[in-house]
Structures are given as C-alpha cells and as structure tokens.
C-alpha cells in the first residue's frame, strides 16, 4: 500500500494494536490540540488564536485536561481574555434582560426571542478542543474509506481488534456518505465480524479477571486479564481510563 501524508496516521493507528484505532487517532488529535493551544510554542500568544478561545471556551473535560497539562501562565492568559469577553457579553445581556411575566391562573404570555438561559447553555456546550478534534476525526474517516480500496489495508482491518462502541456507530454513519460502492459487500460483514469477535474477546478477559478473585483460582494464571477492566471501559466508551494526565514536557 502506498503511504501518503494523509494515510500515515490511519495506517499507524491500525498497526498500533489498539482496542479501537479511532480511539488511538482521537487521543493523538486531542493531545496535539492541547499542545498547540498551551504548549511551549503555543498559539495562545497569537491574537487570532486567543479570539477562538474567547469565542468557544472549553468543555469541563478539556478545561481539566488543560489544567493537568501544567502551563499555569498559559491557562491564566487564555482565561483572562475569555473572562473579559464573557463579562462584556454578560453585562450587555444584564442591561437588556426583561423579567419574565408573573404566572397567572390563565397562564402567562411566552416571552419573545431566545431566553438568556438558552444562550448560556449553548455557550457552555461549546469547546474549541472538541471542535478541532471533530475536524481531525472527520478527515480520518474520509481517509479510512479511501484506504479500504487497497487489499493490504483491508487485511489490516480484518485482523484488527475491531472498534469501540462509541466510534463504531460513527464509522457506520460515515459509511453512508463515504463508502465506495465497490467495497460495500466487504465492508459491512467485515467490520461487524471483527468488532463482535473482539467484544467477545474482551468479555472473556473480563470474565476471567472476575473469576480470579475466587479463592479457587488464586494460583491460576491471569492470562490476558490484568488490564481487562480498562480495556472493557474503552470498548464501551472509547476512553483510556488507565492513562496518566497528559502533561507538558
């Protein structure tokens, strides 16, 4: 298979032997994004980058990961201008805020326009890191469906550890738009089979992990079950619960 700039990350993900190659790609994209935002040569010093962090902010998960990354000054600068932007918006809303009418036995007239609490909820639901990860993942799915034209890569897919149950439906959703017609008869049986086989494998490892706590199995070999709990969690949710916090070098 011919390797190009776009295909190398996807190929590496299938070579890594991970429980889900798209988990592997997403973690790489997340770490790269955190590093680009808060690393040593980070973009947070650039006005256009700061405008993005001011606009989108971060979800609770990624705000914690930025904190764990360890760049206190970088986080302080990002939050400083983000707070300034939020306060400006908040004060404008406060000045124009109209109190909802009192309720009556006959009901109250619904206020016109978007309620402020809906605007706040939308704002709280935005995240610059999530947005950038989504952009990268969309490209990876596109590249994957380009690569399955190659027989060697299809072999890698068939002999992979399948996909987690968070990325598998995303793969199927992307297939509706991106799957080459010539690969339809191969794709669906192949990805369902490899995913079912590996869900079964993880379930068996988890069963043995639990069974090892029975005194009758105390002297038995752990086989491949020592990390079964973390792998079982990844298969369900596409996470790496055993990973240490990603930190600045």
Q: Would you state the pLDDT for residue 72? A: 92
Q: Would you state the pLDDT for residue 105? A: 63
SS3 91: helix
For 13, 160, 167, 195, 200, the CA distances from 157, given in Å and listed in that order, are 11, 5, 14, 10, 17
- Separation CA 223–CA 209 (nearest Å): 9
CB atoms within 10 A of CB 27: 18
Average pLDDT, the chain: 91
Q: Is the dihedral of CA 149, 152, 158, 162 positive or negative?
A: negative
Residues of the chain with pLDDT under 50: none
Q: Which pTM was predicted? A: 0.88
Q: Would you state the pLDDT for residue 45? A: 76
Q: Would you state the pLDDT for residue 58? A: 94
Nearest C-alpha neighbor of 239 from the set 52, 22, 10, 75: 22
Q: How far apart are the first and last CA of the chain?
A: 35
């Amino acid at each position: 298979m011919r390797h190009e700039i776009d295909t190398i990350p996807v190929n590496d993900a299938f070579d890594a032997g991970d429980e889900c190659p798209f988990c592997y790609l997403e973690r790489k994209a997340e770490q790269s994004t955190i590093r680009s935002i808060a690393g040593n040569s980070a973009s947070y010093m650039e006005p256009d980058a700061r405008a993005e962090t001011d606009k989108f902010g971060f979800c609770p998960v990624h705000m914690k990961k930025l904190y764990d990354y360890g760049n206190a000054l970088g986080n302080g600068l990002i939050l400083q201008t983000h707070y300034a932007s939020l306060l400006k918006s908040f004060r404008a809303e406060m000045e124009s805020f109209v109190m909802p009418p009192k309720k009556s036995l006959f009901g109250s007239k619904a206020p016109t326009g978007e309620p402020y609490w809906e605007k706040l909820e939308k704002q709280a639901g935005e995240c610059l890191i999530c947005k950038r990860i989504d952009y990268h993942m969309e490209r990876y799915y596109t590249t994957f469906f380009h690569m399955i034209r190659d027989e060697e890569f299809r072999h890698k897919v068939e002999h992979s550890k399948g996909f987690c149950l968070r990325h598998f439906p995303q793969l199927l959703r992307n297939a509706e738009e991106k799957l080459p017609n010539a690969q339809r008869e191969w794709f669906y049986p192949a990805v369902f089979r490899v995913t079912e086989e590996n869900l079964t494998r993880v379930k068996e490892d988890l069963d043995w992990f639990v069974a090892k706590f029975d005194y009758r199995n105390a002297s038995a070999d752990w086989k491949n079950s020592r990390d079964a709990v973390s792998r079982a969690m990844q298969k369900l949710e596409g996470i790496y619960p055993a990973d240490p916090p990603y930190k600045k070098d």
